[in-house]
Amino acid sequence: MTSQATTLKGQPLDKPVLDAMLRRRMFYTPSFEIYGGVGGLYDYGPPGCALQANIVDIWRKHFVLEEDMLEVDCTALTPHDILKTSGHVDKFSDFMCKDPKNGEIMRADHFVEAVLEARLKGDKEARGEKVEEKDDPKKKKKKTKTEAVKLDDAVVQEYEEVLAKIDNYGGAELGELIKKYDLKNPATGLLPSEPVAFNLMFQTSIGPSSNLPGFLRPETAQGQFLNFAKLLEFNQSQMPFASASIGKSYRNEISPRAGLLRVREFLMAEIEHYVDPEGGKKHGRFHEVEDLELVLLDKGTQLSGKTTTKTMTIGQAVKDGVVDNETLGYFLARIHLFLQKIGVDMSKLRFRQHMANEMAHYACDCWDAELLTTTGWVECVGCADRSAYDLTVHAKKTGAPLLVRERLEQPRVIEEWQLDIDKKKFGPLFKKDAKAVETALEATTQEQREAFSKQLAEGGKISLDVPGVGDGKAEVTSDSIKIEFRKRVENTREFTPNVIEPSFGIGRILYSLIEHNFWTRGSDGSDEARGVLSFPPPVAPTKVLLVPLSSNAQFKPEVRKLSQRLRAMGISSRVDDSSASIGKRYSRNDELGTPLGITVDFQTLQDQTITLRDRDSTTQVRADEARILEAIKSLVDGSKNWAKIQEELPKFEGQEVEVAQR
Amino acid sequence: MTSQATTLKGQPLDKPVLDAMLRRRMFYTPSFEIYGGVGGLYDYGPPGCALQANIVDIWRKHFVLEEDMLEVDCTALTPHDILKTSGHVDKFSDFMCKDPKNGEIMRADHFVEAVLEARLKGDKEARGEKVEEKDDPKKKKKKTKTEAVKLDDAVVQEYEEVLAKIDNYGGAELGELIKKYDLKNPATGLLPSEPVAFNLMFQTSIGPSSNLPGFLRPETAQGQFLNFAKLLEFNQSQMPFASASIGKSYRNEISPRAGLLRVREFLMAEIEHYVDPEGGKKHGRFHEVEDLELVLLDKGTQLSGKTTTKTMTIGQAVKDGVVDNETLGYFLARIHLFLQKIGVDMSKLRFRQHMANEMAHYACDCWDAELLTTTGWVECVGCADRSAYDLTVHAKKTGAPLLVRERLEQPRVIEEWQLDIDKKKFGPLFKKDAKAVETALEATTQEQREAFSKQLAEGGKISLDVPGVGDGKAEVTSDSIKIEFRKRVENTREFTPNVIEPSFGIGRILYSLIEHNFWTRGSDGSDEARGVLSFPPPVAPTKVLLVPLSSNAQFKPEVRKLSQRLRAMGISSRVDDSSASIGKRYSRNDELGTPLGITVDFQTLQDQTITLRDRDSTTQVRADEARILEAIKSLVDGSKNWAKIQEELPKFEGQEVEVAQR
């Protein structure tokens, strides 16, 4: 696989050209730019905002409505205690190091990676080999100047091994690598400081007395977990079920890069699907997707140093154990279908499994849906098995019963060592310590009980460790307790559900989608290349452009009428009645990804016909308003394609000539 | 007007009953409740989340799409400098005071108000007068124990005057009132501390080096203002236009109260409509709304101590000067229509004008749409004229041209004192100071220029103040400059637009809407009252409940088929196949506000007919699936009402009997 990114039509993708277009058309823009901007913060302009809303709308229909998920909206402000329990306060950090001279702060792993890669590139140049951009990184790396210096073969191999395991290193190890290989900051020629952990959460304090420290959530998941018991009750205690949430999350990235791929405030859409851990995590609708083919890159392949993907049905992948269980597999397939629906180039999608060392602290398995862009493969959706981690830690911390009680159809008979305490005798015997002794007794294991039972039978008493009581020992006699091996019938089963979490970074998906749908028209001729965003109609920010031939006042009522009719049909449109030529106005809207265009001209005033233009082919048809509106409806709802419309309605060539001549 | 809040059917509204129902049905719930909760933070459960999404969806169609507004999505994280310039760092605060004994922190104005009102109430009791709850407060006041103590008539009058002006006092004045009237905290019997200003913004720091202080935005407006120049360009420089934004904002309230009315994180929908300040702020679509009658409470009426509203057309109100201009009036009317569309009880809506002293620091006029609830009149929408305040301060701070350049149809001829600088001579004369001297010259007023012109003619030179240059004076001779009174032709006009800002608190609207649509059924009989939320179908969280008669497996395929058909029609439905009786299941969904219910029973299996139930009347009709689905579609899109459906389809009485018998 090469990193040479291509457009929708296979042309080399010129990122600066695309960036300039996105800026010009205000898809997004650096926040606070007139104040100099702030790294990692972007605002969406009107087309970006509409594109985002459409992606979210399709997401909600595809996941939440299709599967009756319970959507919630929780606060981003989160008190310290919750994120302490969840492990984020201690573990949600990256390592950073600082240049001692210019004060530049860098992510330690990115720094090591960048310097070693620059050396390897320099080595290749020195050897006269063709230097290819590597296609890997989820992160966009800092450009580091290369010098053509040949390295020993053994050194090359060592560097490559380090790079393959880069996600594997902690701060101390990264520090050792910096010293061992003498990795200097090219900007100053100095070694950076020892890496230190930097927590990625934004801190604040809640309330007027500053005594409640809090954070902005780094994920929407915790709010969902804390509401688990209420959601289960809302779902009338039926399992499995899923909650879902769409909202902003915050990560104080050490060195955010330009663009939407690593930002500090971002929209997430997350699903927490709760499943019984027993019975192999089957899924009731797995059969609907089992024949779908996915492109998979499993951890075994990666650990052997390769990035070769396998294409297989998700049914086969689960059967072969490549994907652990049906529920995880079901969601991978649903993610695949969602990305297809919004218009992702499916030849630029792969599912990559995390290696053990790169997994988040809460996950026991994770697959990322990665999309290929000009900056390599970008993690856009994570699908993690969080096991029972979160519900367990919160339940333990708060005592809240975050579990499922299931009535057993067949009562379960359990034979075990059981303990009976005679509380009447027990109380006076231990007085204030009675509770502690009782708790210690209840906590004994089956093995201990078996041994105690013997001791009671033989010596009439046992000696029990009870920390904090007297000398740490309590003597319990056989007249106050009884330990017997006997049967017990259980009618209900209690369990903490496991969580399968598909988690979508909407901004990353949005940016990748733009790249996948971008191409340029006319670049083969002498003409200047004109950008086109061929979004499928459902995600396109605006569906229809309305163009009066000129600013002649006669056209206004007709345009206004069409605009109102389209609105009534629930189809978004925009009028461009600027003085630019029709061709220029269509070009502008090709850049905005508007799939359809209507022209109102002098003929319209005579015979009430209007033209309809297809963005991708620039061909046009002409018919009366009713038939054109009907055609638009069927194109937008996907029931017909442009070829079909061309069969049905007469071709029109008028203004198209003008467009072609520009 | 009495504060006795009523339900949709005019019954007394029992707030604890409603609260319990909203909690049971998980409309919203305190965030982090298993950790003890945090004041002012709430999560929306599935019905609240859907209700919110529907309100926002209607808002977007009613405002953004209807008027081609430019929607943007800006970050909540905001660097300090922006909010310093906007005035929020210095002025966006409330005064708080602290009880010296128990450490309780109170909003100073609320504290003064509560204690004085308790004394007045005690006085009334002592006089044997009937004590009525006051209907005013936007704020839900702390309940303060009253003692029946008679006050002097003069004291009563003084207290009432203080209360009328309570929004008028600053921190020092509130402190004086506390001392003057010896206002003690009833909880401890002590005077609270001197009030201090507490800024309501949540603070954080952006980036790894902690050197960029920032806040969470208290409103979405600033992000919109900072993008003004780009939005104007996106709009092809056409005026007037509006930007709009829907997003979370944050205010660190000193003492948030229970419920959604004063929270620390909330969803806002804000419009910034940019209008030319010249020409009386006319609006091109004002004629569409001018005959709409609004209920107005203007500032003059309030200043005279009354709360009598006037009902008048908005056309008349603008004509009479009650509402300042057409643009402000247009948006008040549009707000009225929006609230009507989502199902607000229009007899519980009034527009109240702010008095000068209660206006936000940026506003020059403001009207609030207030909704009457159990806690009095609640400000749900603000409609402020922010004049050119924000654009001006940001332009001044950054030098960015936040203004409109308008080509004048008639070039404007201006006669004035004009300055010509001979740069060739000027440069060598002042060397490094040339630029500063030039700037000082350019900055001279018409009066100064006239005087200088005389001096140049008479003495051949002028003496100019130039701070920072030499001794602060520069001598400029007549060979290097010329000052003449002559004509100049202006082809463009530059102006800073004024901003009309309708700003919606979605959570407050949502809560008020719930109260306005709540009523109880069966409370007149011996039966327990059952809650109903009669939301109009477009805002109802779920449109259709699907109820199989029993858990019999035969019903499942039919229910699944109906669920899929409704989804394909874009109509949200939920299945309740729990073991509860049909009546119980319908009651549960009446509480959720689901307008329609379908029952699948044994007859369905024979003749494919299903029943359709109307939530509000509990009457039912029965027909085949196609006709029932068609009826649902017309009810949900509002083209037919239930009475019409009853005329068209046969009545059914089967399960209704069961509901009545519960």
Over the stretch A362-398, which tens digit does the pLDDT of each residue have?
788 899 999 999 988 999 999 999 999 999 999 999 9
Q: What is the Cα–Cα distance from B632 to B545, expressed in whole angstroms? A: 11
What is the tens place of the pLDDT at every residue in B490-502? 899 999 999 999 9
pLDDT for the residue B655: 54
Instruction: Average the pLDDT over each of A567-571, B256-260, B575-579 and give the range with the smallest value.
Output: B256-260
Q: What is the mean pLDDT of residues B112-116?
A: 92
pLDDT for the residue A115: 93
Amino acid found at B81: D
Spatial CB neighbours of B13, under 8 Å, sequence gap ≥ 6: B5, B6, B7, B374, B515, B518
Task: Considering only residues B656 and A71, tell me which one the structure prediction assigns the higher pLDDT.
Answer: A71
The minimal CB distance from B77 to the residues A105, A264, A574 is found for: A264
pTM above 0.90, yes or no: no
pLDDT for the residue A103: 87
- Whether chain A has a CB inside 8 Å of the CB on B26: the answer is yes
B74: chain A residues, CB-CB within 8 Å: 31, 43-44
Q: Do B212 and A38 touch (CB under 8 A)?
A: yes
pLDDT for the residue A148: 84
Q: Do B31 and A400 touch (CB under 8 A)?
A: no
Which residues of chain A are under the pLDDT cut of 70? 1-4, 130-145, 210, 258, 523-528, 655-662
Given a cut of 60, is residue B134 above it in pLDDT? no
B203: chain A residues, CB-CB within 8 Å: 204-205
pLDDT for the residue A659: 43
Query: Nearest 5°: CA angle at B215, between A44 and B232?
Result: 35
Q: Could you tell me which chain A residue has the CA closest to the CA of B212?
A: A38
- Whether chain B has a CB inside 8 Å of the CB on A575: the answer is yes
Task: Considering only residues B306 and A636, tell me which one the structure prediction assigns the higher pLDDT.
Answer: A636
List A residues 357-376 in contact with B (Cβ-Cβ < 8 A): none
pLDDT for the residue B177: 94
Q: Do B234 and A48 touch (CB under 8 A)?
A: no
**Residue B338: alpha-carbon gap to chain centroid:** 13
A412-488 CATH, one of 3.40.50.800, 3.30.720.200, 3.30.9.90, 1.20.1250.20: 3.30.720.200
From the list B234, B199, B244, the residue with the least C-alpha distance to B90 is B199
Same fold? A93-199, A412-488 = no
Q: What is the Cα–Cα distance from B405 to B389, expressed in whole angstroms? A: 18
How is B328-355 classified by DSSP, letter by letter?
HHHHHHHHHHHHHHHT--GGGEEEEEPP
Which among B25, B29, B60, B73 is the top mutation candidate for probing chain A, defined by the most A β-carbons within 10 Å of its own β-carbon? Answer: B73
Instruction: Average the pLDDT over each of A62-76, B40-54, B230-244, B510-524 and give the range with the smallest value.
Output: B510-524
In the β-sheet with B105-107, what is the strand arrangement from edge to edge?
B105-107, B93-98, B196-199
pLDDT for the residue B140: 43
Smallest CA–CA separation between A622 and chain B, in Å? 26
Q: What is the Cα–Cα distance from A265 to A251, expressed in whole angstroms? A: 7
From the list A268, A207, A179, A195, the residue with the least C-alpha distance to A502 is A268
- Whether chain B has a CB inside 8 Å of the CB on A412: the answer is no
pLDDT for the residue A34: 96
Place of tokens 């913060």: A41
Give B103's pLDDT tier (boundaries 50, 70, 90): confident
Q: Do A230 and B45 touch (CB under 8 A)?
A: yes
**Residue B424: alpha-carbon gap to chain centroid:** 58
Smallest CA–CA separation between B258 and chain A, in Å? 15
Place of tokens 């909540």: B76
Class of domain A542-648: alpha beta
Q: What is the mean pLDDT of residues B419-431?
A: 84
Average pLDDT of chain B? 90
Smallest CA–CA separation between B1 and chain A, in Å? 35
pLDDT for the residue B196: 93
Q: What is the mean pLDDT of residues B225-233?
A: 97
Which among A29, A44, A49 is the top mutation candidate for probing chain B, defined by the most B β-carbons within 10 Å of its own β-carbon? Answer: A49
- Whether chain B has a CB inside 8 Å of the CB on A495: the answer is no
Given a cut of 70, is residue B483 above it in pLDDT? yes
A242: chain B residues, CB-CB within 8 Å: none
- Whether chain A has a CB inside 8 Å of the CB on B315: the answer is no
Q: Report the 10 Å Cβ neighbour count for B509.
A: 25
pLDDT for the residue A18: 94
On whether ipTM exceeds 0.90, the answer is no
Q: What is the Cα–Cα distance from B171 to B162, expressed in whole angstroms? A: 14
| Whether B60 contacts B246, CB under 8 Å | yes
Structure tokens at B138: 């936007």
- Whether chain A has a CB inside 8 Å of the CB on B164: the answer is no
On whether the B93-199 domain is CATH 2.40.50.140, my answer is: no
Instruction: Average the pLDDT over each of B19-33, B41-55, B136-150, B356-370 and give the range with the smallest value.
Output: B136-150
pLDDT for the residue A523: 54
Residues A15-74+217-389+500-507: name the CATH superfamily.
Bira Bifunctional Protein; Domain 2 (3.30.930.10)
| Whether B656 contacts B575, CB under 8 Å | no
The minimal CB distance from B248 to the residues A33, A207, A248 is found for: A248
Give B145's pLDDT tier (boundaries 50, 70, 90): low
Place of tokens 């001297």: B437
Smallest CA–CA separation between B9 and chain A, in Å? 28
- Whether chain B has a CB inside 8 Å of the CB on A222: the answer is no
Give B475's pLDDT tier (boundaries 50, 70, 90): confident
What is the tens place of the pLDDT at every residue in B148-180? 888 998 999 889 888 877 777 888 999 999 999
List A residues 77-116 in contact with B (Cβ-Cβ < 8 A): 77-79, 81-82, 96, 103, 105
Domain ranges of chain B: 15-74+217-389+500-507, 93-199, 412-488, 542-648
Q: Do B265 and A46 touch (CB under 8 A)?
A: no
Residue A53 half-sphere exposure toward CB, CA atoms < 13 A: 21
- Whether chain B has a CB inside 8 Å of the CB on A578: the answer is yes
List A residues 262-281 in contact with B (Cβ-Cβ < 8 A): 264-265
